[in-house]
Amino acid sequence: MKRRWLALGAVVIIAALVLGGYIYAHNRTGSIYHPNARFVPQTNPTLPKRGPERFAWPFYGYTKSHTRYFPASASLHPPFKVQWTLGGSSLREFPPVLSENRIFQLTDDGVLSAVDKYTGKILWSRTLGELSASAPAVVGDTVYVTILSRAGAADDGRAAALDAATGHIIWSRELPSRSESSPLVDGSKVFFGSEDGTVYALNIHTGNTVWTYHAAGAVKASPTLQNGVLYFGDYSGHVQAISESTGRRIWLAGSEGALLGSGTFYSTSAVIYGRVYLGNTDGRVYAYDAATGRLDWAYQTGAYVYASPAVTNAPGLGPTVYVGSYDGSFYALNARTGHVDWTYDAGGKISGSATIVGRYVYFADLGTHVSYGLGISTGRVAFKMATGSFDPVISDGKRIFLTGYTGLYDLAPAG
């Protein structure tokens, strides 16, 4: 009898553990929906009214809100023809930025180059470190960069400002930790994060510290700015909003993901519709309320989401979030509800971020080294090129500049 009760007790304990594990896994993974969460409708931005020679794509993701949407005219569409190609041997992990007739790109070997956008010729190059993985920022006559490893210091980073015309270093700031956070400039300050969790606000003219903020994990994303608030996630699995002027925390939210603890946020957030959208290594795409940090929804993909989302109001769909996953699928999610509008199976693994140019969304597949352009409303393939791995496209409104694995390509509409 005693053995029977022991056996029964063991069965009960095992059943409780299984049930508890299921409840835990269900709450820590899977999709979450809060249909009545606050949503602020917004219209799509339009192109600035200025001549093409004064045009700038100044930041990673184009705007300070990092929606990764560029409102190109209807004439900028596939198919494309190659105007020029800039080759190389170093990986081009992050896209360039653009100001007037110059393209600025930082390759993974720590070299920053200025390229003539009409010819593809290198105007100047500067070696700033041994390893880098970020996009520069260009504002006015100055280019700002962050470096993962400076020369002779593998675990220490660097931030610098250079003259856009000559490549002359205006100031250089050694960092006690590596940085792959693409810089963001607003007013007199440049903002970026680092692997020791420090977020910096530096004076754009001198590189001197204005303030610092210390997160609980590495901050690899570029800080996103809207209405005086900076938003970013970190490697402790938290998202935070801090004051642009003081660095004071406004709110902190958890990811509530991954079976054995929080996932990590590598993704740069997109802030629009009163929400903060970003991906996580727990496989989810998250939407938080920008004012409070309350979770609005989370959609579970099949693998890591390193990619930063692109967001726009798509014809026929409405507000839509576009993001790729390591499961090889590219997703179009309803920005209000988090439900899937369409998916495209690229067949590999998607690590880099997408960019919307007009009515097409462009992304690259790391597994197959192929870049795609899909219709934002339909998910149909309109463009395909056998190069690219991470974050492929920027534009000046007349053409697109595609970052391949080691090359940069100028593509103009074939018509």
> Alpha-carbon distance 222 to 191, whole Å?
8
Confidence of residue 17 (pLDDT cuts 50, 70, 90): very low
| CA 287/CA 280 separation, integer angstroms | 11
Residue showing tokens 């198919």 = 79
Across 1-10, 100-109, 273-282, 368-377, least confident range? 1-10
The CATH architecture of the domain made up of 31-413 is 7 Propeller (2.130)
Question: How high is the pLDDT of residue 21?
Answer: 39
Single pTM value for the model: 0.90
User: What is the Cα–Cα distance from 114 to 117, expressed in whole angstroms?
Assistant: 9
Q: Which two tokens stand for residue 127?
A: 């070696």
- Would you state the structure tokens that stand for residue 366, as one six-digit string? 């790391």
Check if the beta carbon of residue 83 is closer than 8 Å to that of residue 115: no
**pLDDT for residue 11:** 46
pLDDT the model gives residue 29 = 62
Question: Does position 48 have pLDDT exceeding 70, yes or no?
Answer: no
Six-digit token pair at 49?
């009214």
All structural domains of the chain with their residue ranges: 31-413
State the Cα–Cα distance between residues 170 and 174, nearest whole angstrom: 14
Instruction: Report pLDDT digits (tens) over 111-155.
Output: 999 999 999 999 999 999 999 999 999 999 999 999 999 877 667
What is the structure's pLDDT at 12?
A: 44
